[in-house]
Structure 1
Amino acid sequence: MTETNDPVITPAQAWQTLHEGNARFVAGNSSHPNQDANRRSSLIHEQNPFAVIFGCSDSRLAAEIIFDLGLGDAFVIRTAGQVIDDAVLGSLEYSVVTLGVPLIVVLGHDSCGAVTAAKRTVDTGEMPGGHIRNLVERITPSVLAAQRNGFTEVNDMVVEHTKQTAERLVESSQLIAAAVEEGRTAVIGVSYRLAEGAADLVSGFGALAHPSVLRSPRA
């Protein structure tokens, strides 16, 4: 990975680009930008992504596809249930500090298997084995928070987990928190609906130049 010092767009402009790309995807009009040989050649010595997308590893949640992006557009990090660990935090800090990415997107989705497993553990008291246990333990607080707020469905818990993960990123990283405080970066939570293909904004941290762009494709 090579750093670049090229100027970047604002957090609001970054979300607007993602929002418009998702709208094209939902409508079946994806333009598949920045995917040709010239684009590939232009990225040999540097990268300048305008967003970092931290999402679930689910095979149905391919970030570049659902936001209609191309090579070099997004710095993508994925773990099951978008669970945070040291490698994730280090990758996110790299994207913000070295690459100057103005927007961090925490991307969850409905029917998430990892959140479903955490809900099952809360409901039954039975903990899965192996390293899956670690995933469940990290998601369980979000499941409990959703239940305290009266939500019992998995998809509502997914939204709560997405919100809490975005908040936890800012709380866990001094570098990201400083970037948010200084207005260089915003952190948003986005929940993806598998059936419609729509990515809905559910939370946000940090000032944006044009808050009116913070709307979901439903708007």
Structure 2
Amino acid sequence: MKGKIINSVSRRNLFKFGATAVGSGLITSKLGLNLFDAPAADAKQRLTPDLAVAELLQGNKRFSSQKINQPNRGSFRLREVASGQKPFAAILGCADSRVPAEIVFDQGLGDLFVVRVAGNVATPEEIGSLEYGTLVLGAKVILVLGHQKCGAVKAAMDNQPVPGQIGSVLKHIKTLKVASTNESGDLLRATTIANIKNQIATLKASPVVTDLINSGKLKIIGGFYSLDTGIVTQVA
């Protein structure tokens, strides 16, 4: 009789534990406390440059198709990156509020080393930051990310007087002559893509960046973000 009582209690405790575990899992999911943050983060740190590019593009595919994972955003990851960072990719993006890199590429805390400035221009300050993000922190790819309807590129194209220090940014955007009869017939888009490629060329003039590329530790690509669809198209 005693044995039956003990077994009954044990079963009840087991069911309670199971229910608690399932409930905790639901709560964890709702709060974004991902218990699998650490293995995913470690895997990203071991990516090659080509795989780092693939990870970025796959993340953007998840975002644009509304199938986001929201990785590395839990409390474990928060504590983990407090002691140091090892981003797998670096982004030189526009400061436009509609293009937040971590959301657009479905990444989390410590995954991306992001430098944002109007027109995604490679000034000495931005270059120095990206040198640090790649040489010291180990990012495997630099993505220069321009976007649809970029106000900075449009202002540079208009070539009109601007107030304050805005001109200090615009001077780094060379409105290269591009054919107005490009694929989309959109001169602003074509100029934005030309600007992306020009900033990549500027970055490649850095001896630090060049050495990393030549040693196979780094890759630089360009991307164009559509505000309408959320899709990043590789353009360089």
Q: TM-score, normalised by structure 2?
A: 0.77
SS at match of 1:43: helix
Please name the residue that 1:61 is paired with. Answer: 99
Deviation at 1:28, TM superposition (A): 0.7
Please name the residue that 1:44 is paired with. Answer: 82
Which one-letter code corresponds to 2:229 in the other structure?
A: E
Q: CA deviation digits over 1:153-175, x for unaligned, max 9?
A: 1111111111111111101x110
Please name the residue that 2:216 is paired with. Answer: 183
Deviation at 1:61, TM superposition (A): 0.6
Q: Which runs of 5+ in 2 are unaligned?
A: 1-43
Please name the residue that 1:214 is paired with. Answer: none
Moved over 4 A (4+): 147-152
Which one-letter code corresponds to 1:58 in the other structure?
A: D
Task: Looking at secondary structure, tell me which structure has more strand per residue.
Answer: 1
SS at match of 1:101: coil
Cα separation, 1, equivalents of 2:144 and 2:120? 8
Please name the residue that 1:198 is paired with. Answer: 231
Cα separation, 2, equivalents of 1:108 and 1:198? 12
Cα separation, 2, equivalents of 1:107 and 1:199? 8
Structure 2 CA distance for partners of 1:152 and 1:28, relative to 1, 3 Å: closer
Contact 2:47-2:140 within 8 A present in 1 as well? yes
Give runs of aligned pairs for residues 31-180 of structure 1, distance below 5 A: 31-121=69-159, 126-139=160-173, 141=174, 143-146=175-178, 153-171=187-205, 173-180=206-213
Cα separation, 1, equivalents of 2:207 and 2:77? 34
Contact 2:123-2:172 within 8 A present in 1 as well? no
Number of residues of Structure 1 aligned to a counterpart in Structure 2? 191
Q: CA deviation digits over 1:123-168, x for unaligned, max 9?
A: xxx33232111222211x2x22325997761111111111111111
Cα separation, 1, equivalents of 2:180 and 2:215? 33
Structure 2 CA distance for partners of 1:145 and 1:182, relative to 1, 3 Å: farther
Q: TM-score, normalised by structure 1?
A: 0.82
Match of 2:56 among 10, 18, 24: 18
Task: Looking at secondary structure, tell me which structure has more helix per residue.
Answer: 2
Query: Larger relative CO (CA 8 A, sep 6+): 1 or 2?
Result: 1
Which one-letter code corresponds to 1:146 in the other structure?
A: V
SS at match of 2:115: strand
Cα separation, 1, equivalents of 2:82 and 2:101? 22
Deviation at 1:11, TM superposition (A): 0.7
Cα separation, 1, equivalents of 2:139 and 2:67? 27
Structure whose alpha-carbon radius of gyration is higher: 2
